[in-house]
C-alpha cells in the first residue's frame, strides 16, 4: 500500500516521504534555515533596464536583485504601446516603476532569482493565470477521452474571459461544482493580492506559498494513497484543516502516528534517504552509479564493479544497465535534479540491448511529476536527457559548498603548494621599495618552508635586501594562504613587531571578521496576506437510485373517445395549450450537434446517436395513440373573378423592319485568290505599295560532261614508275 509519511518532530526540518510498502519513491525536505521563495508573489521596483540583455533587474526585497526578461513582462506594465514589430525594453519600461512579480526560479550560486509578471495561482484542481488570457488548457499527462471530458467541463465553468485556466491532473473525474468552487477560491485570492499590493510601496512580500506539508497534500494526495501518517499533533491539525476545506472526502486518511519507534525507522527508509546525499549508489547486482553535478550538467557514470549476474559480458552489461536505469529515475526524483543530464551506460554491442535500456528508462520516468525529455543512446554509449527543475535540488537546500576545496573536489598537496608560495614570495620581494613580505600559511606548509626551504628563503633575503616572515596559522588549511607585501614607507614595516606578535594579531582579526554560520540568523519577510479567504469545499454527492416510473393511467376505450370528440364539436373551441418553455442554463453547453454550425448534424430522433439507442427487445412497448379529433370542415373559397384579357403590346421602335426582313440569299463560294501582301492597318490614305513581280521558275541545270578518270595504279607500282622516269 502507498503511504505518505510526514515527519515534523524537528522544527528546523520538515520531511515528507512517499513510500510503496517499504520502498521510498519520492522525497521532499524543507529546511528552516533556508527561505523558500519559489511561487512567492512580491511587489518589486525596477532598478535597472538593460537593453543588451532585453531584461530588467527588480528589487523585490532579497539580497540579490531578480532577473525579469522582456518575454515575461505583461503588456499592462508597458508605459506606451509598442510601435512596429520589435519591442525595445528601454521604451516601454522605466527605472523606479513598480510591478507585481512571482519567483519562477530560485537563486542558484551567483545567479539571482528569475521573475515573471504572469502570475499563476495553483489550486487543488485548477491553476489560474489572471493576467495571461492566452495561456490555459489541460495537463499534458491527461490524454484521450479524459482530455475531451475535461475540456467540456472547463468550457462550462464561469470564468472571466481575460484570465487563463489550466486543469491539473487532480481534476480528473471531478464535477463542475467542485471545479467551480476551486475557481472561486482562486479568484478571491487574486482579488486579495491586488488589494494588498496597493497598501504600501515596494518592495515587500504580498503572498507566500504554503509549506511543504500543504504542498505535498495538494500535489501528491490521490486515490491510490492509502493513508497519511503524521508524527506531530500540530502538523496533523494543520493538515486536517487544509483537507477539510479543500478535499473533505480524504479527511479519514489523515492519521496521527504515536508509536515510540520513529516514523521513518518504522518503514526502514532512513537508510534510503541517506543514499540521496551520497555520491555513489550501490546496485543490487553489485554494480554502482556515480552522480556528479557540475555547472553545465549532471553526469552519471555506471560501473559494473563486482556485478556477475549475466552469463557473459554482454548479458552482464545489459542487466547492470537495466538496474541502473530504474535506480537513476528514482534518484532524480529523490534529489530533485533538474537541467541537462548525461548518462554513461556500459558499452553494449547489440542494438536491441540499447533499445531495451532506453525503453526501461522511459518506463521508469513515467511516475515523475516533472517534464522529462529522453534521447537515444549515441555511438559513444551516452544518453542525454533533460528534467524540469520543479524546486532547488536536495544538495542545494541541505548542503553547502566545501569551504576547503570550494567545490572542486581536490586540493594541492603540501609540497606543491609550498613551492608555489615560495615563488610568489620571491616575485613580491623583487618589486621596488619592498621592505618586508609576510606569508600566513597552514602549519604543514610553514614547517616545509622553514626547514626544507630555509636556504632558498635566505638567498631571497640577501638578493633583494628585504625581510621575509613566515607565519604559521592554525586556522588555515591547505590550499588557503595569504601573502602581504609592505613598502619601505609603510608604518607596519617601521613598527618592528616580532613574528609571534604579528601572528597573534592576525588570528584575532580573522576570528572577529568571519563569524560562524551557526550564529547567523535568517531574517524572513512577513507576507501581507496572512490567510486566503476560504469556504468549505462541496462534497461529491453519492449516486442515488433512479426514481420509479409512475404507473400508467388506464387508456380510454374507442367508444368514449368518439363521444368525447362529438362533445368537443359543440362545446366550442378551447384555448390551445401553449408549449412549455424550457429554461436553458447559461453555463450549459449546447449538444454536440448544435455546435457544428449546421454541418453533419445528427438526423436521429430526439438528437440521439445510434450508439445510444437500445435494441428493440429492451425497449419499452409503445403507448397506443389516442384517436385524433376530426378536423373542422373548411368553408369553400370564394370564386375569383376572371382575369381581364391583355391588349397586345405595341411593337417597339425598329422592330417592324426586323419582322419584315427577307431571308438571306445563299452566298457563292469564294474564289481562290493568290496570296497578296496585306495593307497595314493605318494605310487608309497612304500610297499602296508596289506589288512584287512574279518570279520566273529556275532553269534546269545541265549536266556537264566530265572526262573519265584514269585508273589508279597500286602504290608500289606507282613508286617504281616514278623511279623509272627519274
Four-CA torsion 582, 587, 592, 594, nearest 10 degrees? 50
Which domain covers residue 251, as residue numbers?
A: 2-34+211-266
Give the DSSP H/E element, type plus range, for residue 457: helix 454-464
Mean pLDDT over each residue of the chain, to the nearest integer: 78
Question: For residues 591 and 363, which has the higher predicted lDDT (pLDDT)?
Answer: 363
Q: What is the dihedral of CA 563, 566, 568, 569, to 10 degrees?
A: 180
Least confident of 24-28, 108-112, 300-304: 108-112
CATH code of residue 240? 3.30.420
Same-domain pairing of 198 and 258: no
Please, which pLDDT band fits residue 556 given cuts at 50, 70 and 90? very low
Distance from C-alpha of 683 to C-alpha of 274, rounded to nearest angstrom: 110
Give the model confidence (pLDDT) of 36-57 as tens digits.
Answer: 888 899 999 999 999 999 999 9
Among 157, 173, 207, residue at a domain's last position: 207
Residues 293 and 392 in one domain: yes
Q: Which helix (H) or strand (E) holds 476?
A: none
237 lies in some domain: yes
Nearest to 257 by CA among 238, 233, 223, 225: 233
> What is the tens place of the pLDDT at every residue in 388-435?
988 888 888 888 889 999 888 899 999 999 999 999 999 999 999 999
Asked if pLDDT for residue 203 goes beyond 50, the answer is: yes
As a whole-number percent, the residues of the chain with pLDDT over 90 amount to 38
One domain, residues 102 and 183? yes
CATH at residue 106: 2.40.50.140
Q: Is 80 exceeded by the pLDDT of residue 703?
A: no
Based on the fold, state whether residues 250 and 281 are members of the same structural domain: no
- Given a contact cutoff of 8 angstroms between Cβ atoms, the answer to whether 221 and 250 are in contact is yes
Look at residues 398, 432, 465 and tell me which one is the last residue of a structural domain: 398
- Four-residue CA torsion sign, 398, 403, 405, 407: positive
638 in any annotated domain: no
Please indicate, yes or no, whether residues 61 and 164 belong to a single structural domain of this protein. Answer: yes
Range with the lowest mean pLDDT among 175-189, 225-239, 306-320?
Answer: 306-320
Number of domains in the chain: 4
Summarize pLDDT for 351-373 with one digit per residue, the tens: 999 999 999 999 999 988 889 99
Running DSSP on this structure, what letter comes out for residue 391? S
Domain presence at residue 341: yes
Residues 147 and 78 in one domain: yes
Please tell me the least confidently modeled range out of 20-24, 231-235, 632-636: 632-636
Q: Are residues 488 and 419 in the same domain?
A: yes
Q: Is 73 left (phi over 0), alpha (psi -120 to 50) or beta?
A: beta
Same domain as 195, residue 86: yes
pLDDT digits (tens, 9 = 90+) for 139-152: 777 777 778 888 88
The DSSP H or E segment spanning 166 is strand 164-167
pTM above 0.75, yes or no: no
Q: Identify the pLDDT of residue 607.
A: 45
3-state secondary structure 647-668: CCCCCCCCCHHHHCCCCCCCCC
Structural domain includes residue 525: no
Q: Which letter does DSSP use for residue 692 in this model? A: P
Query: 562 pLDDT exceeds 70?
Result: no
The 10 Å Cβ neighbour count of residue 333 is: 23
Position 642 in a domain: no
**Is the pLDDT confidence value at 534 over 90?**
no
Long-range contacts of 251-256 (CB under 8 A, 24+ apart): 253/221, 253/225, 253/226, 253/227, 253/228, 254/228, 254/230, 255/227, 255/228, 255/229, 255/230, 256/229, 256/230, 256/231
Query: Which of residues 500, 515, 530 is at a domain's end?
Result: 515
Do 331 and 242 share a domain, yes or no? no
User: How deeply is 151 buried, as exposed, middle or buried, from its count of CB atoms within 10 A (0-12, 13-18, 19+)?
Assistant: middle
Residues 6+ away with beta carbon under 8 Å from 554: none
pLDDT of residue 174: 81
* pLDDT at 549 (0 to 100): 44
Q: Is residue 319 part of a domain?
A: yes
Residues 53 and 201 in one domain: yes
Cell 622516269 identifies what position? 725
**165 assigned to some structural domain:** yes
Q: Which of 541, 478, 539, 6 is nearest to 228 (CA)?
A: 6
The backbone torsions φ and ψ at residue 498, rounded to the nearest 5 degrees and listed phi first, read -80, 165
Is 647 part of a structural domain of the chain? no
* Separation of alpha carbons 425 and 725, rounded Å: 116
DSSP 505: H
CA distance 689 to 177: 100
Single out the residue of 310, 304, 275 nearest to residue 287, CA to CA. 304
Q: CATH number, domain at 500?
A: 3.40.1260.20
223 and 289 housed in the same domain: no
User: 373559397: which residue's cell?
Assistant: 637
What pLDDT score was predicted for residue 569? 47
At residue 439 the predicted structure's pLDDT band, cuts being 50, 70 and 90, is very high
* Alpha-carbon gap, residue 366 to 25, rounded angstroms: 12
Residues 392 and 422 in one domain: no
Distances (CA, A) of 304 to 326, 332, 358, 381, 595: 15, 20, 18, 15, 61
Most confident of 481-485, 603-607, 618-622: 481-485
Amino acid at each position: 500500500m502507498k503511504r505518505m509519511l510526514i515527519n515534523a518532530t524537528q522544527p528546523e526540518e520538515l520531511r515528507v516521504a512517499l513510500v510503496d510498502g517499504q520502498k521510498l519513491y519520492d522525497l521532499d525536505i524543507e529546511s528552516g534555515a533556508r527561505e523558500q521563495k519559489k511561487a512567492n508573489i512580491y511587489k518589486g521596483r525596477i532598478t535597472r533596464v538593460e537593453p543588451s540583455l532585453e531584461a530588467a533587474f527588480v528589487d523585490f526585497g532579497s539580497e540579490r536583485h531578480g532577473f525579469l526578461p522582456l518575454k515575461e513582462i505583461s503588456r499592462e506594465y508597458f508605459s506606451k504601446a509598442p510601435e512596429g514589430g520589435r519591442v525595445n525594453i528601454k521604451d516601454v519600461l522605466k527605472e523606479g516603476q513598480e510591478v507585481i512579480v512571482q519567483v519562477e526560479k530560485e537563486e542558484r550560486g551567483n545567479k539571482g532569482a528569475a521573475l515573471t509578471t504572469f502570475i499563476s495561482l495553483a489550486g487543488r484542481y485548477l491553476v489560474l493565470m489572471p493576467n495571461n488570457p492566452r495561456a490555459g488548457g489541460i495537463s499534458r499527462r491527461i490524454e484521450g477521452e479524459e482530455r475531451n471530458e475535461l475540456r467540456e467541463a472547463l468550457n462550462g465553468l464561469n470564468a472571466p474571459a481575460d484570465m487563463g485556466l489550466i486543469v491539473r491532473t487532480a481534476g480528473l473525474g471531478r464535477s463542475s461544482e467542485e471545479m467551480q468552487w476551486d475557481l472561486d477560491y482562486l479568484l478571491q485570492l487574486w482579488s486579495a493580492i491586488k488589494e494588498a499590493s496597493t497598501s504600501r510601496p515596494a518592495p515587500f512580500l504580498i503572498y507566500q506559498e504554503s509549506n511543504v506539508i500543504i504542498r505535498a497534500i495538494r500535489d501528491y494526495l490521490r486515490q491510490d494513497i492509502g493513508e497519511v501518517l503524521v508524527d506531530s499533533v500540530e502538523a496533523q491539525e494543520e493538515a486536517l484543516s487544509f483537507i477539510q476545506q479543500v478535499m473533505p472526502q480524504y479527511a479519514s486518511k489523515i492519521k496521527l502516528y504515536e508509536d515510540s519507534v520513529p516514523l521513518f525507522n518504522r518503514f526502514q527508509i532512513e537508510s534510503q534517504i541517506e543514499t540521496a546525499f551520497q555520491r555513489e549508489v550501490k546496485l543490487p547486482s553489485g554494480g554502482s552509479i556515480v552522480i556528479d553535478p557540475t555547472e553545465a550538467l549532471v553526469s552519471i557514470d555506471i560501473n559494473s564493479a563486482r556485478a556477475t549476474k549475466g552469463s557473459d559480458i554482454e548479458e552482464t552489461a545489459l542487466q547492470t544497465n537495466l538496474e541502473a536505469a530504474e535506480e537513476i529515475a528514482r534518484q532524480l526524483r529523490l534529489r530533485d535534479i533538474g537541467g541537462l543530464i548525461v548518462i554513461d551506460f556500459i558499452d553494449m554491442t547489440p542494438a536491441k540491448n540499447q533499445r531495451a535500456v532506453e525503453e526501461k528508462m522511459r518506463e521508469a520516468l513515467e511516475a515523475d511529476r516533472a517534464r522529462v525529455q529522453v534521447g537515444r543512446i549515441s555511438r559513444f554509449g551516452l544518453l542525454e536527457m533533460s528534467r524540469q527543475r520543479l524546486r532547488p535540488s536536495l544538495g542545494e537546500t541541505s548542503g553547502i559548498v566545501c569551504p576547503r576545496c570550494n567545490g572542486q573536489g581536490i586540493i594541492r598537496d603540501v609540497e606543491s603548494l609550498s613551492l608555489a608560495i615560495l615563488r610568489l614570495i620571491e616575485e613580491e620581494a623583487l618589486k621596488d621599495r619592498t621592505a618586508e613580505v609576510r606569508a600566513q600559511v597552514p602549519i604543514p606548509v610553514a614547517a616545509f618552508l622553514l626547514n626544507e626551504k630555509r636556504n632558498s628563503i635566505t638567498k631571497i633575503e640577501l638578493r633583494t635586501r628585504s625581510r621575509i616572515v613566515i607565519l604559521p596559522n592554525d586556522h588555515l588549511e591547505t590550499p588557503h594562504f595569504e601573502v602581504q607585501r609592505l613598502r619601505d614607507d609603510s608604518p607596519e614595516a617601521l613598527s618592528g613587531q616580532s613574528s609571534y606578535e604579528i601572528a597573534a594579531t592576525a588570528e584575532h582579526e580573522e576570528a572577529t571578521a568571519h563569524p560562524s554560520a551557526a550564529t547567523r540568523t535568517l531574517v524572513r519577510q512577513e507576507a501581507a496576506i496572512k490567510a486566503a479567504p476560504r469556504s468549505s469545499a462541496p462534497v461529491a454527492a453519492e449516486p442515488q437510485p433512479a426514481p420509479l416510473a409512475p404507473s400508467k393511467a388506464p387508456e380510454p376505450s374507442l367508444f368514449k373517445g368518439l363521444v368525447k370528440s362529438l362533445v368537443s364539436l359543440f362545446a366550442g373551441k378551447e384555448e390551445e395549450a401553449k408549449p412549455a418553455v424550457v429554461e436553458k442554463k447559461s453555463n450549459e453547453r449546447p449538444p454536440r450537434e448544435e455546435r457544428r454550425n449546421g454541418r453533419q448534424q445528427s438526423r436521429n430522433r430526439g438528437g440521439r446517436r445510434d450508439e445510444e439507442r437500445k435494441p428493440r427487445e429492451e425497449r419499452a412497448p409503445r403507448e397506443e395513440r389516442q384517436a385524433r379529433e376530426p378536423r373542422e370542415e373548411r368553408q369553400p373559397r370564394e370564386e375569383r373573378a376572371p382575369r381581364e384579357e391583355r391588349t397586345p403590346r405595341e411593337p417597339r421602335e425598329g422592330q417592324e423592319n426586323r419582322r419584315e426582313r427577307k431571308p438571306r440569299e445563299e452566298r457563292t463560294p469564294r474564289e481562290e485568290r493568290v496570296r497578296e501582301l496585306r495593307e497595314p492597318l493605318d494605310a487608309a490614305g497612304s500610297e499602296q505599295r508596289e506589288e512584287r513581280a512574279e518570279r520566273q521558275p529556275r532553269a534546269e541545270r545541265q549536266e556537264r560532261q566530265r572526262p573519265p578518270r584514269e585508273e589508279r595504279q597500286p602504290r608500289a607500282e606507282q613508286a617504281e614508275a616514278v623511279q623509272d622516269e627519274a
